Amino acid sequence: MKVLVVGANGQIGKHLVSFIQDSDNLEAKAMIRKQEQASFFEDLGAETAVVDLEKDIETIAKAAEGVDAVVFTAGSGPHTGPDKTILIDLDGAVKTMKAAKAAGVKRFIMVSSFDTTREAIQAAPSSFAPYVAAKHYADEWLKSMDLDYTIIHPGRLTNEEGTGQIEAAYEVNRAEIPREDVAHVIVASLENETTIGKEFQVVSGTKRIKEAIPSV
Ligand code: NAP
């Protein structure tokens, strides 16, 4: 299965491309926004596509041509304002979904935020609310499209080494999770069709990823 990783140059994205390239049945196409980011992925033997998410749907769709699945793990990050949150976390995500459809790709995995409910928007501090709102509506859009989606809601991301042990369910207690483990959770979700049509929260825990994800 060939997987377009959108946000490949991000912290989760780099782990993900590397784990995909290490797996037997998956191969990655890394979507990045600058040509100078390509060598990291070429060294892993992955194909690359240089596309800025602020470009139009047709441009993103060209990157999605010939792949079997799309993973969206891009984000505008904490150092830009609400304008980029809307353009990347919301519009960039929805354009990627439309691009997947245009390219005939059914499988779509979204790296969302831990709690993207309407209540979470209301409860968020004003500086964080636009991000939660963007993630909420991107998730809602994905669920309304005819795509084989999985929405992953990780807890607070850390750069600790992965443990391979998680707790994953529709609702879990808020906690942390290493980015490395999130990348393994994405690979396990790609490998398990039982995750299609599901959304789940995931934090560090006591179950092995390969055992927890098929029954999530
Ligand atoms: P990250 O390191 O900030 O990676 C985000 C990626 O998005 C970067 O590679 C960035 O590209 C790319 N990007 C930004 N704007 C773009 C554009 N216009 N066109 C194309 N690509 C663009 O994020 P992460 O730590 O891997 O996390 C992934 C996602 O998890 C986050 O975006 C967030 O929504 C979600 N999340 C975060 C937390 C948390 O605790 N922080 C918790 C749950 C979920 P460049 O490399 O070129 O900058």
Rg (CA), the chain: 16
Q: Is 205 in the pocket of ligand 1 (CB under 6 A)?
A: no
Distance between Cα 74 and ligand 1 center (Å): 4
Residue nearest to atom 8 of ligand 1 (CA): 10
Q: What is the mean pLDDT of residues 29-41?
A: 98
Q: Is-above-0.95 flag for pTM?
A: yes
Spell out the domains of the chain, with CATH numbers in brackets: 2-155+179-196 (3.40.50.720)
Distance between Cα 23 and ligand 1 center (Å): 23
Alpha-helix runs per DSSP H in 23-123: 38-43, 57-64, 82-84, 91-102, 118-123
Distance between Cα 89 and ligand 1 center (Å): 9
- How much is the mean pLDDT over the chain? 98
Q: Is 77 in the pocket of ligand 1 (CB under 6 A)?
A: yes
Encode pLDDT of 83-93 as tens digits. 999 999 999 99
- Residue 52: helix, strand or coil by DSSP? coil
pLDDT of residue 178: 98
CA distances from 159 to 15, 36, 69, 119 (A): 11, 24, 26, 29
Active site residue 137: no
Q: Is 54 in the pocket of ligand 1 (CB under 6 A)?
A: yes
Q: Is 7 in the pocket of ligand 1 (CB under 6 A)?
A: yes
Q: Which pLDDT band holds residue 5 (cuts at 50, 70, 90)? A: very high
Please tell me the total number of residues recorded for the chain in this structure. 216
Judge contact between 7 and 74, C-beta under 8 A.
yes
**Residue 180 C-alpha from the chain's centroid:** 13
CA distances from 139 to 51, 89, 110, 157, 199 (A): 22, 10, 8, 19, 9
Q: Which pLDDT band holds residue 27 (cuts at 50, 70, 90)? A: very high
Q: Long-range contacts for 73-79 (Cβ within 8 Å, ≥24 apart)? A: 73/5, 73/6, 73/7, 73/8, 73/10, 73/12, 73/13, 73/16, 73/111, 73/186, 74/6, 74/7, 74/10, 74/13, 75/7, 75/10
pLDDT of residue 64: 98
Q: Give 65's Cβ-side CA count (13 Å radius).
A: 8
Q: Which atom of ligand 1 is nearest to the CA of 114?
A: 43
Phi and psi at residue 103, in whole multiples of 5°? Answer: -90, 0
DSSP state of 43: H
Encode pLDDT of 146-203 as tens digits. 999 999 999 999 999 999 999 999 999 999 999 999 999 999 999 999 999 999 999 9
